Amino acid sequence: MSSMSVDWSDACVLITGGTGSFGRAMTRLLLEERHVRRLVIFSRGEMKQLNMRREFKDHPALRFFIGDVRDLDRLRLAMRGVDVVFHAAALKQVPVAEYNPFEAILTNVHGAANVIRACIDAGVKRIMALSSDKATNPINLYGATKLCAEKLFVAANSYAGGLDTRFAVVRYGNVVGSRGSVIPLFLEKRRTGRLPVTDERMTRFWITLDQATRFTLGCIELMHGGEIFVPKIPSMRIVDLARAIAPGCQCEVVGIRPGEKLHETLVSEDDARTTLMYDNCFIIQPHHHMWDDLGYEPPNGGEPCPDGFRYGSDSNTWWLSAEQIRSLVQADERRYKSDAAEEQPDAEAALSYAGRPVDEPNVENRLEAGRPA
């Protein structure tokens, strides 16, 4: 399977949920390094769009669409002339989804189906959906909705038929620096002298925003349609994270929340049967006749997973050291303070929306977290 050439300088890209952590990081990467012709931010929040417009100083390639992935007509309008789509819009909080299941399904499942329909109708060339480790053997509603979305995007390649429209998925773990990360919670709670820890045994996969965006961008250039791409990323014990954030605080075990697991899995034993291992990632090939009918071949260098293989946060061979955890926390603390300041509505932001010049905000550089030797 050879790489798919993408002429980014002539491409129109759309990001659903584009004002979120991933969308902002991907926007910076596409504007500063890929120099895309046009970049459409599709999201529901007008204030977040206003702040993002200000953050990127009304970049001439940026366009902003107010809309919801639940609205198929609005998606169809936004997709006109689009070549590449990153689907990041979702309700992502596990407890929120547990107590608002209808809403989570409408956004994460029906919304995904709407994105697929709109992309096929508009003839979009490449679509990459973001998924989560919680989609693997899910025990909570959020994970179940992401599993459904994965299935929809893989099967969408058959719905596209002979069109040059291809869908794939990226599945990864917790994102350091995202708004849903546990780090901001720990930073807030440390002033009390106690940090709430659900279970001292709990582990999680971790990936930085920069790693997530670059990996996703590379996958969309490599994809042929139907794959689920999984990066090889480190694990961290939640209690180690708490101690790195507040060494002098007491960890208070509060118990696992509804829908939580002790450990997460990115490649299950069942997935592993059709998964190829590479130096930096896994590629899960679809259980689908389309994969064979169209004669796809995987990239060179991949090896089948051994029998019984499972890629879990507890069985991972790559663990973050105490020093690396502290570096991540320090970078995220600066980013958290910067984001909190940006989200405050003010007169200067209103002037930015009116097209008048304002000072450039201080945007924290993305943390470079390389894999240890």
Contact (Cβ atoms closer than 8 angstroms) between residue 71 and residue 118: no
- Do strands 194-197 and 250-253 pair parallel, antiparallel, or not at all (unpaired)? parallel
* Residue linked to tokens 């708490």: 242
Strands (DSSP E) contained in 1-152 are: 12-16, 38-43, 62-66, 84-87, 126-132
* CA-based nearest residue to 369, from 229, 210, 241, 215: 210
Selected catalytic residue, list 134, 146, 232, 261: 134
The Cα 234–Cα 264 span in angstroms is 12
Strands (DSSP E) contained in 249-350 are: 250-253, 265-267, 275-277, 281-284, 303-304, 311-312
pLDDT at 363: 24
Q: What is the DSSP letter of 298?
A: P
Is 134 an annotated catalytic residue? yes
Phi, psi dihedrals of residue 97, rounded to the nearest 5°: -65, -35
Nearest-10 crossing angle of helices 238-245, 322-342: 70
Q: What is the DSSP letter of 134?
A: G
* pLDDT, one tens digit for every residue, the chain (373 residues): 334 578 999 999 999 999 999 999 999 999 999 999 999 999 999 999 999 999 999 999 999 999 999 999 999 999 999 999 999 999 999 989 999 999 999 999 999 999 999 999 999 999 999 999 999 999 999 999 999 999 999 999 999 888 899 999 999 999 986 766 788 788 888 889 989 898 999 999 999 999 999 999 999 999 989 999 999 999 999 999 998 888 888 899 999 888 889 999 999 999 999 999 999 999 999 876 666 666 667 777 899 999 999 999 999 999 998 888 888 877 766 665 665 555 444 333 332 323 323 222 222 332 233 343 3
Query: C-alpha angle with apex 364: 358 to 369, nearest 5 degrees?
Result: 160
The Cα 314–Cα 325 span in angstroms is 17
Buried b / exposed e over 225-252, threshold 16 CB at 10 Å, is bbbbbbbbbbbbbbbbbbbbbbeebeee
The Cα 21–Cα 35 span in angstroms is 20
Amino acid letter, residue 7: D
Q: What number does CATH give the domain 10-173+208-232+267-307+347-353? A: 3.40.50.720
Here the tokens at position 293 are 């009918």
What are the residue ranges spanned by the domains of the chain? 10-173+208-232+267-307+347-353
Instruction: Give one word for 350, left, alpha or beta, with left for phi > 0 and alpha for psi -120 to 50.
Output: alpha
The Cα 361–Cα 179 span in angstroms is 18
Contact (Cβ atoms closer than 8 angstroms) between residue 328 and residue 364: no
